[in-house]
Amino acid sequence: MIGLEIHAQMKTNTKAFCRCSTDFHSSPNSNVCPVCLGYPGCLPVLNEKLIEFTIKMGIATNCTIRSNSIFARKNYFYPDLTKGYQITQFDTPLCYEGHINIKLKNKETKKIGITRIHIEEDAGKSIHDFHDDETLIDFNRCGVPLIEIVSEPDMNSTDEAHQYLSKIKQTLIYLEINDGNMEEGSLRCDANISLRLKGTETLGTRTEIKNLNSFKNVSDAIEAEIKRQTSVLESGEKVSYHTMTYNAKDKTTAATRTKEEAHDYRYFPEPDLVKLKISEDWLRKVADNLPEFPDKRRDRFMKDYFLPESDSEEITHDRKFADYFENVAVNLSDKNERSFRTASNIVRAEVRKVMNEKKIGINEFPLPAKAIAMIADSVNSGKVSITASKEIFTLMLSGKSEEEMLSIFRESEKNLSIVSDTSEIESIVKKIIDTNPEETQRYKSGEKKLAGFFVGKVMQESKGKANPKIVNELLIKLLEV
Amino acid sequence: MSVTIKDVDKIAQLAKLKFKENEKVKLQSELNKILEYIDQLNELNLDNIEPLENINETENVLRKDEIEIWLTNEEALRNAPSKTGKFFKVPKVLDK
Ligand SMILES: [Zn+2]
Protein backbone atom coordinates (compact mmCIF):
# COMPACT_ATOMS: atom_id res chain seq x y z
CA MET A 1 0.00 0.00 0.00
CA ILE A 2 1.29 3.37 -0.98
CA GLY A 3 0.36 6.81 0.32
CA LEU A 4 1.89 10.05 -0.90
CA GLU A 5 2.53 13.33 0.84
CA ILE A 6 2.97 16.05 -1.72
CA HIS A 7 4.44 19.43 -0.86
CA ALA A 8 3.43 22.08 -3.36
CA GLN A 9 4.73 25.62 -3.30
CA MET A 10 1.93 28.13 -3.73
CA LYS A 11 2.44 30.61 -6.55
CA THR A 12 1.88 33.71 -4.46
CA ASN A 13 3.96 36.85 -4.93
CA THR A 14 4.89 37.02 -1.27
CA LYS A 15 5.76 34.58 1.50
CA ALA A 16 3.19 33.03 3.84
CA PHE A 17 3.62 35.39 6.78
CA CYS A 18 5.66 38.35 5.53
CA ARG A 19 5.82 40.51 2.43
CA CYS A 20 9.11 39.19 1.05
CA SER A 21 9.11 38.01 -2.56
CA THR A 22 8.96 34.28 -3.32
CA ASP A 23 11.05 34.61 -6.50
CA PHE A 24 13.15 31.48 -6.88
CA HIS A 25 15.79 33.16 -9.01
CA SER A 26 16.65 36.06 -6.70
CA SER A 27 20.20 36.39 -5.43
CA PRO A 28 20.82 34.63 -2.07
CA ASN A 29 19.46 36.24 1.09
CA SER A 30 17.85 39.14 -0.75
CA ASN A 31 14.20 38.18 -0.10
CA VAL A 32 14.40 38.35 3.65
CA CYS A 33 13.03 40.48 6.47
CA PRO A 34 12.92 40.45 10.27
CA VAL A 35 9.85 38.14 10.22
CA CYS A 36 11.29 35.36 8.07
CA LEU A 37 14.75 35.76 9.60
CA GLY A 38 13.11 34.98 12.93
CA TYR A 39 14.00 38.17 14.77
CA PRO A 40 12.43 38.34 18.21
CA GLY A 41 9.42 40.60 18.57
CA CYS A 42 8.21 40.27 14.97
CA LEU A 43 4.71 39.17 14.18
CA PRO A 44 3.66 37.04 11.22
CA VAL A 45 0.66 38.22 9.17
CA LEU A 46 -1.13 35.69 7.03
CA ASN A 47 -1.23 36.07 3.23
CA GLU A 48 -4.86 36.18 2.04
CA LYS A 49 -3.99 34.76 -1.40
CA LEU A 50 -2.48 31.67 0.23
CA ILE A 51 -5.81 30.89 1.87
CA GLU A 52 -7.65 31.40 -1.40
CA PHE A 53 -5.23 29.08 -3.24
CA THR A 54 -5.51 26.36 -0.61
CA ILE A 55 -9.31 26.52 -0.72
CA LYS A 56 -9.15 26.17 -4.51
CA MET A 57 -7.12 22.98 -4.22
CA GLY A 58 -9.48 21.75 -1.54
CA ILE A 59 -12.52 22.21 -3.74
CA ALA A 60 -10.75 20.69 -6.75
CA THR A 61 -9.98 17.57 -4.72
CA ASN A 62 -13.50 17.28 -3.27
CA CYS A 63 -12.40 18.14 0.25
CA THR A 64 -14.47 19.67 3.02
CA ILE A 65 -13.19 23.16 3.80
CA ARG A 66 -12.89 23.73 7.52
CA SER A 67 -14.70 26.85 8.64
CA ASN A 68 -12.53 27.41 11.74
CA SER A 69 -8.88 26.55 11.76
CA ILE A 70 -5.75 27.59 13.58
CA PHE A 71 -2.02 27.39 13.02
CA ALA A 72 0.48 25.45 15.10
CA ARG A 73 4.18 25.49 15.85
CA LYS A 74 6.24 22.46 14.99
CA ASN A 75 9.39 22.75 17.05
CA TYR A 76 12.79 21.52 15.94
CA PHE A 77 16.28 22.88 15.52
CA TYR A 78 17.98 23.09 12.20
CA PRO A 79 20.09 25.98 10.92
CA ASP A 80 17.84 26.63 7.90
CA LEU A 81 14.83 27.15 10.18
CA THR A 82 15.29 30.62 11.61
CA LYS A 83 12.68 30.64 14.37
CA GLY A 84 13.37 27.19 15.79
CA TYR A 85 9.87 26.18 14.75
CA GLN A 86 7.86 25.87 11.58
CA ILE A 87 4.41 27.40 11.37
CA THR A 88 2.07 24.71 10.10
CA GLN A 89 -1.40 23.32 10.73
CA PHE A 90 -1.71 20.35 13.02
CA ASP A 91 -5.15 19.12 14.07
CA THR A 92 -7.18 21.60 12.05
CA PRO A 93 -6.02 21.30 8.42
CA LEU A 94 -7.88 23.78 6.21
CA CYS A 95 -9.10 21.01 3.87
CA TYR A 96 -9.90 17.40 4.72
CA GLU A 97 -11.60 14.18 3.56
CA GLY A 98 -11.45 14.59 -0.20
CA HIS A 99 -10.59 12.39 -3.16
CA ILE A 100 -9.52 12.43 -6.77
CA ASN A 101 -10.08 9.92 -9.53
CA ILE A 102 -7.21 8.41 -11.46
CA LYS A 103 -7.24 6.39 -14.69
CA LEU A 104 -5.72 2.95 -14.44
CA LYS A 105 -3.91 1.15 -17.24
CA ASN A 106 -6.97 -1.03 -17.85
CA LYS A 107 -8.97 2.20 -18.43
CA GLU A 108 -10.87 1.80 -15.19
CA THR A 109 -11.22 4.72 -12.80
CA LYS A 110 -9.99 4.49 -9.23
CA LYS A 111 -10.80 6.82 -6.36
CA ILE A 112 -7.83 7.88 -4.24
CA GLY A 113 -8.69 9.41 -0.87
CA ILE A 114 -7.17 12.69 0.27
CA THR A 115 -6.79 12.72 4.03
CA ARG A 116 -5.98 16.39 4.40
CA ILE A 117 -4.48 19.50 2.84
CA HIS A 118 -2.80 21.89 5.22
CA ILE A 119 -0.77 25.07 5.00
CA GLU A 120 2.83 25.36 6.13
CA GLU A 121 5.98 27.37 5.49
CA ASP A 122 9.16 26.21 3.81
CA ALA A 123 12.62 26.34 5.39
CA GLY A 124 15.77 27.94 3.98
CA LYS A 125 18.27 26.21 1.75
CA SER A 126 21.49 24.70 3.10
CA ILE A 127 24.51 24.31 0.88
CA HIS A 128 26.77 21.61 2.28
CA ASP A 129 29.21 20.95 -0.51
CA PHE A 130 30.85 24.34 -0.58
CA HIS A 131 33.18 23.96 2.40
CA ASP A 132 34.38 20.88 4.25
CA ASP A 133 33.48 22.06 7.72
CA GLU A 134 30.92 24.77 7.08
CA THR A 135 27.39 24.99 5.72
CA LEU A 136 26.11 28.04 3.83
CA ILE A 137 22.50 29.12 4.16
CA ASP A 138 20.17 31.05 1.90
CA PHE A 139 16.94 32.13 3.63
CA ASN A 140 15.09 33.26 0.47
CA ARG A 141 12.97 30.13 0.67
CA CYS A 142 12.36 30.43 4.40
CA GLY A 143 8.67 31.27 4.88
CA VAL A 144 7.65 30.47 1.31
CA PRO A 145 4.09 29.09 1.42
CA LEU A 146 3.51 25.39 0.86
CA ILE A 147 0.50 23.17 1.00
CA GLU A 148 0.93 19.55 2.01
CA ILE A 149 -1.48 17.19 0.31
CA VAL A 150 -1.70 13.90 2.19
CA SER A 151 -3.32 10.93 0.49
CA GLU A 152 -4.86 7.85 2.01
CA PRO A 153 -2.75 4.71 1.50
CA ASP A 154 -5.03 3.82 -1.41
CA MET A 155 -2.46 3.11 -4.10
CA ASN A 156 -1.38 -0.44 -4.82
CA SER A 157 1.30 -0.03 -7.46
CA THR A 158 4.00 2.26 -8.70
CA ASP A 159 1.84 3.04 -11.70
CA GLU A 160 -1.07 4.17 -9.51
CA ALA A 161 1.26 6.40 -7.50
CA HIS A 162 2.51 7.88 -10.75
CA GLN A 163 -1.03 8.51 -12.01
CA TYR A 164 -2.01 10.10 -8.71
CA LEU A 165 0.99 12.41 -8.62
CA SER A 166 0.38 13.33 -12.23
CA LYS A 167 -3.28 14.16 -11.52
CA ILE A 168 -2.36 16.30 -8.50
CA LYS A 169 0.25 18.13 -10.54
CA GLN A 170 -2.21 18.71 -13.39
CA THR A 171 -4.82 20.04 -10.97
CA LEU A 172 -2.34 22.43 -9.32
CA ILE A 173 -1.28 23.78 -12.70
CA TYR A 174 -4.88 24.09 -13.92
CA LEU A 175 -5.70 26.14 -10.86
CA GLU A 176 -2.59 28.26 -11.54
CA ILE A 177 -1.51 27.93 -7.93
CA ASN A 178 1.75 25.99 -8.53
CA ASP A 179 4.15 25.85 -11.45
CA GLY A 180 4.64 22.05 -11.31
CA ASN A 181 8.41 22.41 -11.46
CA MET A 182 9.86 19.42 -9.65
CA GLU A 183 13.48 20.30 -10.52
CA GLU A 184 13.25 23.63 -8.74
CA GLY A 185 11.52 21.97 -5.82
CA SER A 186 8.15 23.67 -6.15
CA LEU A 187 6.63 20.18 -6.09
CA ARG A 188 8.13 17.53 -3.78
CA CYS A 189 6.92 14.15 -2.69
CA ASP A 190 7.32 11.76 0.24
CA ALA A 191 6.09 8.20 -0.14
CA ASN A 192 4.74 5.94 2.62
CA ILE A 193 4.95 2.26 1.87
CA SER A 194 3.77 -0.81 3.70
CA LEU A 195 3.27 -4.32 2.46
CA ARG A 196 0.52 -6.80 3.20
CA LEU A 197 1.33 -10.47 2.83
CA LYS A 198 -0.88 -12.34 0.40
CA GLY A 199 -3.89 -13.84 2.12
CA THR A 200 -3.55 -11.74 5.25
CA GLU A 201 -5.52 -8.74 6.39
CA THR A 202 -2.92 -6.95 8.46
CA LEU A 203 -0.68 -4.35 7.02
CA GLY A 204 3.03 -4.40 7.76
CA THR A 205 4.92 -1.52 9.33
CA ARG A 206 5.26 1.42 6.99
CA THR A 207 8.40 3.23 6.00
CA GLU A 208 8.61 6.71 4.59
CA ILE A 209 10.85 7.76 1.71
CA LYS A 210 11.59 11.47 1.88
CA ASN A 211 12.19 14.17 -0.69
CA LEU A 212 11.53 12.62 -4.06
CA ASN A 213 11.91 15.32 -6.66
CA SER A 214 10.99 13.76 -9.99
CA PHE A 215 8.37 11.40 -11.39
CA LYS A 216 11.12 8.92 -12.19
CA ASN A 217 12.51 9.03 -8.66
CA VAL A 218 9.03 8.53 -7.18
CA SER A 219 8.45 5.42 -9.31
CA ASP A 220 11.95 4.02 -8.91
CA ALA A 221 12.12 4.68 -5.17
CA ILE A 222 8.76 3.00 -4.51
CA GLU A 223 9.83 0.03 -6.64
CA ALA A 224 13.13 -0.22 -4.73
CA GLU A 225 11.45 0.04 -1.33
CA ILE A 226 8.86 -2.62 -2.20
CA LYS A 227 11.72 -4.89 -3.24
CA ARG A 228 13.62 -4.18 -0.02
CA GLN A 229 10.60 -4.79 2.24
CA THR A 230 9.72 -7.96 0.33
CA SER A 231 13.15 -9.42 0.92
CA VAL A 232 13.02 -8.47 4.62
CA LEU A 233 9.66 -10.23 4.96
CA GLU A 234 10.75 -13.24 2.93
CA SER A 235 13.72 -13.76 5.18
CA GLY A 236 11.24 -14.06 8.05
CA GLU A 237 12.09 -10.73 9.64
CA LYS A 238 9.91 -7.73 10.35
CA VAL A 239 10.02 -4.33 8.68
CA SER A 240 10.71 -1.61 11.21
CA TYR A 241 9.69 2.02 10.94
CA HIS A 242 12.31 4.18 9.32
CA THR A 243 12.65 7.34 7.37
CA MET A 244 14.32 6.27 4.15
CA THR A 245 16.34 8.13 1.60
CA TYR A 246 16.48 7.14 -2.02
CA ASN A 247 19.75 6.87 -3.88
CA ALA A 248 19.03 7.47 -7.56
CA LYS A 249 22.48 6.29 -8.64
CA ASP A 250 22.18 2.68 -7.58
CA LYS A 251 18.37 2.72 -7.27
CA THR A 252 18.22 1.65 -3.63
CA THR A 253 16.59 2.92 -0.48
CA ALA A 254 18.39 3.15 2.85
CA ALA A 255 17.32 4.08 6.37
CA THR A 256 18.54 7.46 7.55
CA ARG A 257 20.68 7.60 10.64
CA THR A 258 18.28 9.99 12.37
CA LYS A 259 17.13 8.60 15.70
CA GLU A 260 13.35 8.39 15.75
CA GLU A 261 13.02 9.49 19.37
CA ALA A 262 14.56 12.79 18.31
CA HIS A 263 11.37 13.54 16.38
CA ASP A 264 9.28 15.04 19.10
CA TYR A 265 7.93 18.20 17.55
CA ARG A 266 5.93 19.37 20.58
CA TYR A 267 3.20 20.95 18.46
CA PHE A 268 1.20 23.70 20.12
CA PRO A 269 -1.13 26.45 18.88
CA GLU A 270 0.75 29.37 17.29
CA PRO A 271 0.07 32.30 19.65
CA ASP A 272 1.17 34.89 17.08
CA LEU A 273 -1.63 34.14 14.62
CA VAL A 274 -5.34 34.55 15.20
CA LYS A 275 -8.09 32.14 14.22
CA LEU A 276 -8.85 31.64 10.55
CA LYS A 277 -12.54 31.64 9.73
CA ILE A 278 -13.78 30.79 6.27
CA SER A 279 -17.26 32.21 5.77
CA GLU A 280 -19.82 30.73 3.40
CA ASP A 281 -19.54 33.92 1.44
CA TRP A 282 -15.79 33.68 1.00
CA LEU A 283 -16.06 30.03 0.02
CA ARG A 284 -18.67 30.84 -2.61
CA LYS A 285 -16.53 33.63 -4.05
CA VAL A 286 -13.57 31.29 -4.49
CA ALA A 287 -15.77 28.54 -5.93
CA ASP A 288 -17.30 30.94 -8.45
CA ASN A 289 -13.88 31.80 -9.81
CA LEU A 290 -12.65 28.28 -10.39
CA PRO A 291 -11.78 27.13 -13.90
CA GLU A 292 -13.46 24.10 -15.49
CA PHE A 293 -11.57 21.05 -14.16
CA PRO A 294 -9.61 18.86 -16.59
CA ASP A 295 -11.80 15.74 -16.42
CA LYS A 296 -14.97 17.71 -17.03
CA ARG A 297 -13.35 19.63 -19.82
CA ARG A 298 -12.14 16.43 -21.49
CA ASP A 299 -15.67 15.03 -21.47
CA ARG A 300 -17.05 18.27 -22.84
CA PHE A 301 -14.48 18.35 -25.67
CA MET A 302 -15.51 14.82 -26.64
CA LYS A 303 -19.10 15.97 -26.86
CA ASP A 304 -18.75 19.49 -28.27
CA TYR A 305 -15.93 18.84 -30.73
CA PHE A 306 -16.56 15.15 -31.51
CA LEU A 307 -13.00 14.27 -30.51
CA PRO A 308 -11.92 10.77 -29.52
CA GLU A 309 -11.14 10.40 -25.80
CA SER A 310 -7.38 10.15 -26.24
CA ASP A 311 -7.21 13.31 -28.38
CA SER A 312 -9.47 15.14 -25.97
CA GLU A 313 -7.34 14.03 -23.02
CA GLU A 314 -4.20 15.16 -24.83
CA ILE A 315 -5.59 18.62 -25.55
CA THR A 316 -7.15 19.26 -22.16
CA HIS A 317 -4.16 18.02 -20.16
CA ASP A 318 -2.79 21.54 -20.15
CA ARG A 319 -5.24 24.35 -19.49
CA LYS A 320 -3.62 26.94 -21.74
CA PHE A 321 -3.26 24.45 -24.55
CA ALA A 322 -6.95 23.61 -24.27
CA ASP A 323 -7.77 27.33 -24.29
CA TYR A 324 -5.78 27.68 -27.50
CA PHE A 325 -7.66 24.84 -29.15
CA GLU A 326 -10.99 26.34 -28.15
CA ASN A 327 -9.87 29.60 -29.68
CA VAL A 328 -9.10 27.81 -32.93
CA ALA A 329 -12.48 26.08 -32.83
CA VAL A 330 -14.32 29.38 -32.36
CA ASN A 331 -12.61 30.78 -35.45
CA LEU A 332 -13.42 27.86 -37.78
CA SER A 333 -15.88 28.79 -40.50
CA ASP A 334 -17.47 25.33 -40.54
CA LYS A 335 -18.23 23.93 -37.14
CA ASN A 336 -18.63 20.24 -37.80
CA GLU A 337 -16.92 17.01 -36.81
CA ARG A 338 -14.57 17.06 -39.79
CA SER A 339 -13.35 20.62 -39.26
CA PHE A 340 -12.89 20.10 -35.49
CA ARG A 341 -10.88 16.96 -36.19
CA THR A 342 -8.68 18.78 -38.71
CA ALA A 343 -8.08 21.58 -36.22
CA SER A 344 -7.32 19.04 -33.49
CA ASN A 345 -4.82 17.28 -35.76
CA ILE A 346 -2.97 20.49 -36.58
CA VAL A 347 -2.90 21.61 -32.95
CA ARG A 348 -1.83 18.23 -31.57
CA ALA A 349 0.77 17.49 -34.26
CA GLU A 350 2.13 20.67 -35.82
CA VAL A 351 1.69 23.16 -33.01
CA ARG A 352 2.95 20.67 -30.42
CA LYS A 353 5.97 19.84 -32.60
CA VAL A 354 7.04 23.48 -32.75
CA MET A 355 6.50 23.85 -29.00
CA ASN A 356 8.69 20.81 -28.33
CA GLU A 357 11.40 21.87 -30.77
CA LYS A 358 11.62 25.38 -29.41
CA LYS A 359 10.92 24.27 -25.82
CA ILE A 360 8.21 26.89 -25.46
CA GLY A 361 4.78 26.94 -23.87
CA ILE A 362 1.61 27.57 -25.86
CA ASN A 363 1.67 31.18 -24.65
CA GLU A 364 4.89 31.80 -26.53
CA PHE A 365 3.73 30.00 -29.68
CA PRO A 366 3.85 32.63 -32.44
CA LEU A 367 0.78 31.84 -34.58
CA PRO A 368 -2.55 33.20 -33.38
CA ALA A 369 -5.38 30.68 -33.04
CA LYS A 370 -7.12 32.42 -35.94
CA ALA A 371 -4.25 31.40 -38.26
CA ILE A 372 -4.65 27.72 -37.37
CA ALA A 373 -8.38 28.04 -38.03
CA MET A 374 -7.67 29.47 -41.49
CA ILE A 375 -5.34 26.58 -42.35
CA ALA A 376 -7.91 24.07 -41.11
CA ASP A 377 -10.64 25.80 -43.15
CA SER A 378 -8.45 25.59 -46.21
CA VAL A 379 -8.02 21.82 -45.78
CA ASN A 380 -11.70 21.27 -45.05
CA SER A 381 -12.91 23.16 -48.08
CA GLY A 382 -10.58 21.08 -50.26
CA LYS A 383 -8.45 24.04 -51.31
CA VAL A 384 -5.20 22.55 -50.10
CA SER A 385 -4.04 19.04 -49.26
CA ILE A 386 -2.94 18.03 -45.77
CA THR A 387 0.66 17.90 -47.02
CA ALA A 388 0.34 21.44 -48.37
CA SER A 389 -1.29 22.64 -45.13
CA LYS A 390 1.82 21.61 -43.23
CA GLU A 391 3.93 23.66 -45.59
CA ILE A 392 1.67 26.69 -45.20
CA PHE A 393 1.92 26.28 -41.44
CA THR A 394 5.73 26.26 -41.57
CA LEU A 395 5.84 29.24 -43.93
CA MET A 396 3.55 31.28 -41.70
CA LEU A 397 5.87 30.73 -38.74
CA SER A 398 8.40 32.99 -40.43
CA GLY A 399 5.96 35.92 -40.36
CA LYS A 400 7.06 38.69 -38.03
CA SER A 401 3.61 40.18 -37.44
CA GLU A 402 0.06 38.94 -37.63
CA GLU A 403 -0.39 40.94 -40.80
CA GLU A 404 2.66 39.37 -42.41
CA MET A 405 1.48 35.91 -41.38
CA LEU A 406 -1.86 36.52 -43.06
CA SER A 407 -0.27 37.67 -46.28
CA ILE A 408 2.02 34.60 -46.25
CA PHE A 409 -1.11 32.51 -45.77
CA ARG A 410 -2.93 34.05 -48.72
CA GLU A 411 0.05 33.71 -51.03
CA SER A 412 1.00 30.16 -50.06
CA GLU A 413 -2.61 29.00 -50.13
CA LYS A 414 -2.78 30.20 -53.72
CA ASN A 415 0.54 28.62 -54.69
CA LEU A 416 -0.17 25.32 -53.03
CA SER A 417 -3.83 24.93 -53.79
CA ILE A 418 -4.90 21.56 -55.07
CA VAL A 419 -4.60 21.09 -58.79
CA SER A 420 -7.74 19.47 -60.14
CA ASP A 421 -6.93 20.24 -63.75
CA THR A 422 -6.92 16.75 -65.27
CA SER A 423 -4.65 17.53 -68.21
CA GLU A 424 -2.00 19.05 -65.93
CA ILE A 425 -2.06 16.06 -63.61
CA GLU A 426 -2.10 13.67 -66.57
CA SER A 427 1.16 15.09 -67.89
CA ILE A 428 2.80 14.52 -64.49
CA VAL A 429 1.47 10.96 -64.28
CA LYS A 430 2.79 10.23 -67.76
CA LYS A 431 6.17 11.61 -66.87
CA ILE A 432 6.40 9.41 -63.75
CA ILE A 433 5.41 6.30 -65.72
CA ASP A 434 8.01 7.11 -68.39
CA THR A 435 10.84 7.67 -65.92
CA ASN A 436 10.11 4.47 -63.96
CA PRO A 437 9.91 1.75 -66.59
CA GLU A 438 10.96 -1.07 -64.27
CA GLU A 439 8.23 -0.39 -61.71
CA THR A 440 5.72 0.11 -64.51
CA GLN A 441 6.61 -3.34 -65.87
CA ARG A 442 6.28 -4.94 -62.42
CA TYR A 443 2.93 -3.25 -61.84
CA LYS A 444 1.64 -4.42 -65.16
CA SER A 445 2.70 -7.97 -64.38
CA GLY A 446 0.53 -7.95 -61.28
CA GLU A 447 2.44 -6.22 -58.50
CA LYS A 448 -0.51 -3.95 -57.68
CA LYS A 449 0.86 -2.74 -54.40
CA LEU A 450 3.24 -0.54 -56.38
CA ALA A 451 0.29 1.82 -56.87
CA GLY A 452 1.34 3.56 -53.65
CA PHE A 453 4.80 4.11 -55.07
CA PHE A 454 3.38 5.89 -58.12
CA VAL A 455 0.98 8.00 -56.09
CA GLY A 456 3.87 9.08 -53.88
CA LYS A 457 6.01 10.04 -56.88
CA VAL A 458 3.21 12.04 -58.48
CA MET A 459 2.42 13.87 -55.27
CA GLN A 460 6.10 14.64 -54.82
CA GLU A 461 6.41 15.93 -58.36
CA SER A 462 3.33 18.12 -57.90
CA LYS A 463 4.66 19.33 -54.54
CA GLY A 464 1.62 17.89 -52.83
CA LYS A 465 -0.77 19.94 -54.88
CA ALA A 466 -2.31 17.29 -57.12
CA ASN A 467 -5.81 16.25 -56.19
CA PRO A 468 -5.23 12.71 -54.87
CA LYS A 469 -8.55 11.42 -56.19
CA ILE A 470 -7.73 12.45 -59.74
CA VAL A 471 -4.18 11.10 -59.39
CA ASN A 472 -5.57 7.69 -58.46
CA GLU A 473 -8.03 7.61 -61.31
CA LEU A 474 -5.43 8.67 -63.87
CA LEU A 475 -2.82 6.21 -62.60
CA ILE A 476 -5.21 3.30 -62.94
CA LYS A 477 -6.28 4.48 -66.33
CA LEU A 478 -2.77 4.94 -67.69
CA LEU A 479 -1.09 1.93 -66.05
CA GLU A 480 -3.77 -0.58 -66.89
CA VAL A 481 -3.70 0.00 -70.65
CA MET B 1 2.25 13.08 37.29
CA SER B 2 5.85 13.68 38.23
CA VAL B 3 8.90 14.60 36.22
CA THR B 4 11.93 12.33 36.37
CA ILE B 5 15.54 13.24 35.69
CA LYS B 6 15.17 11.26 32.48
CA ASP B 7 12.33 13.60 31.42
CA VAL B 8 14.53 16.60 32.19
CA ASP B 9 17.27 15.10 30.03
CA LYS B 10 14.90 14.59 27.16
CA ILE B 11 13.44 18.10 27.28
CA ALA B 12 16.95 19.54 27.57
CA GLN B 13 18.06 17.54 24.55
CA LEU B 14 15.07 18.74 22.49
CA ALA B 15 15.77 22.33 23.49
CA LYS B 16 19.48 21.84 22.77
CA LEU B 17 20.40 22.83 26.33
CA LYS B 18 23.02 21.28 28.64
CA PHE B 19 22.71 21.21 32.45
CA LYS B 20 24.86 20.10 35.35
CA GLU B 21 23.46 17.38 37.63
CA ASN B 22 22.53 19.80 40.46
CA GLU B 23 20.76 22.08 37.93
CA LYS B 24 18.77 19.12 36.66
CA VAL B 25 17.51 18.38 40.17
CA LYS B 26 16.45 21.99 40.58
CA LEU B 27 14.67 21.98 37.21
CA GLN B 28 12.98 18.70 38.10
CA SER B 29 11.40 20.21 41.19
CA GLU B 30 10.41 23.40 39.32
CA LEU B 31 8.80 21.43 36.53
CA ASN B 32 6.94 19.34 39.06
CA LYS B 33 5.60 22.49 40.68
CA ILE B 34 4.28 23.69 37.33
CA LEU B 35 2.60 20.35 36.75
CA GLU B 36 1.06 20.47 40.21
CA TYR B 37 -0.48 23.80 39.32
CA ILE B 38 -1.86 22.32 36.12
CA ASP B 39 -3.26 19.41 38.12
CA GLN B 40 -5.14 21.96 40.20
CA LEU B 41 -6.72 23.26 37.01
CA ASN B 42 -7.73 19.71 36.18
CA GLU B 43 -10.05 19.74 39.16
CA LEU B 44 -12.28 22.24 37.37
CA ASN B 45 -15.15 20.92 35.34
CA LEU B 46 -14.49 22.01 31.74
CA ASP B 47 -16.88 19.64 30.02
CA ASN B 48 -18.73 22.16 27.89
CA ILE B 49 -16.00 24.70 27.46
CA GLU B 50 -14.17 25.16 24.16
CA PRO B 51 -10.39 25.31 24.53
CA LEU B 52 -8.98 28.81 24.31
CA GLU B 53 -6.48 28.62 21.51
CA ASN B 54 -5.56 32.26 21.52
CA ILE B 55 -6.13 35.03 24.06
CA ASN B 56 -6.82 37.30 21.12
CA GLU B 57 -10.44 36.73 20.13
CA THR B 58 -10.18 38.45 16.74
CA GLU B 59 -10.39 36.44 13.54
CA ASN B 60 -8.85 36.67 10.09
CA VAL B 61 -6.03 39.16 10.32
CA LEU B 62 -4.93 38.94 6.72
CA ARG B 63 -2.88 40.98 4.30
CA LYS B 64 -2.80 41.47 0.52
CA ASP B 65 -0.25 39.55 -1.51
CA GLU B 66 1.95 42.56 -2.29
CA ILE B 67 5.73 42.54 -2.19
CA GLU B 68 7.64 44.90 0.04
CA ILE B 69 11.42 45.00 0.12
CA TRP B 70 12.55 45.28 3.69
CA LEU B 71 16.24 44.47 3.90
CA THR B 72 19.15 44.49 1.48
CA ASN B 73 21.48 41.52 1.48
CA GLU B 74 24.12 43.60 3.33
CA GLU B 75 21.61 44.63 6.00
CA ALA B 76 20.37 41.06 6.40
CA LEU B 77 23.91 39.81 7.01
CA ARG B 78 24.96 42.66 9.27
CA ASN B 79 24.15 40.83 12.53
CA ALA B 80 25.33 37.44 11.34
CA PRO B 81 28.14 36.01 13.49
CA SER B 82 29.58 34.33 10.41
CA LYS B 83 29.06 34.88 6.67
CA THR B 84 30.58 34.20 3.25
CA GLY B 85 29.67 36.37 0.27
CA LYS B 86 25.90 36.59 0.26
CA PHE B 87 25.40 33.64 2.59
CA PHE B 88 25.01 33.03 6.29
CA LYS B 89 27.58 30.52 7.46
CA VAL B 90 27.20 27.88 10.19
CA PRO B 91 29.27 24.88 11.31
CA LYS B 92 28.75 21.89 9.04
CA VAL B 93 25.41 20.16 9.52
CA LEU B 94 24.47 16.84 8.05
CA ASP B 95 21.45 14.55 8.24
CA LYS B 96 18.23 16.32 8.88
ZN1 LIG C 1 10.28 38.05 5.08
ipTM: 0.85
Rounded distance, CA A194 to CA A262, Å?
A: 23
Listed in sequence order, the residues at least 6 apart from A354 whose beta carbon sits closer than 8 Å to its beta carbon are A360, A365, A397
Domains defined for chain A, CATH in brackets: 2-187+194-201+256-283 (no CATH), 294-415 (no CATH), 422-479 (1.10.10.410)
B23 located within any domain: yes
Residue A97, pLDDT score: 97
Mean pLDDT of chain A: 90
B74 located within any domain: no
Give the phi and the psi of residue A293 in degrees, each rounded to 5. Answer: -75, 155
Contact B93 A269 (CB under 8 A): no
Statement: residue A453 has pLDDT above 70? yes
Q: B19 touching A, CB under 8 A?
A: no
SS3 A63: coil
B92 located within any domain: no
Residue A79, pLDDT score: 86
B64 located within any domain: no
Distance from CA of A262 to the nearest CA of B (A): 7
Instruction: Tell me which residue of A33, A283, A49, A68 sits closest to B63, measured CA to CA.
Output: A49
Residue B96, pLDDT score: 45
Contact A27 B86 (CB under 8 A): yes
B61 located within any domain: no
Give the CA radius of gyration of chain B.
Answer: 22
Residue A459, pLDDT score: 84
User: CA distances (Å), A43 to each of A328, B52, B93, in order?
Assistant: 50, 20, 28
Residues in the 5 Å CB sphere of ion ligand 1: A 18, 20, 33, 35-36
Measured between beta carbons, the chain A residues lying within 8 angstroms of B64 are 48-49
Burial (CB < 10 A; 0-12, 13-18, 19+), residue B57, is exposed
Residue A222, pLDDT score: 93
B13 located within any domain: yes
Statement: residue A249 has pLDDT above 60? yes
Structural domain count, chain B: 1
Instruction: Tell me which residue of A286, A287, A292 sits closest to A52, measured CA to CA.
Output: A286
Which residues constitute the domain of residue B22? 5-42
Please state the rounded mean pLDDT for residues A172-183: 92
The pLDDT tens digits for A81-107 are 999 999 999 999 999 999 999 988 888
A447 vs A57, higher pLDDT:
A57
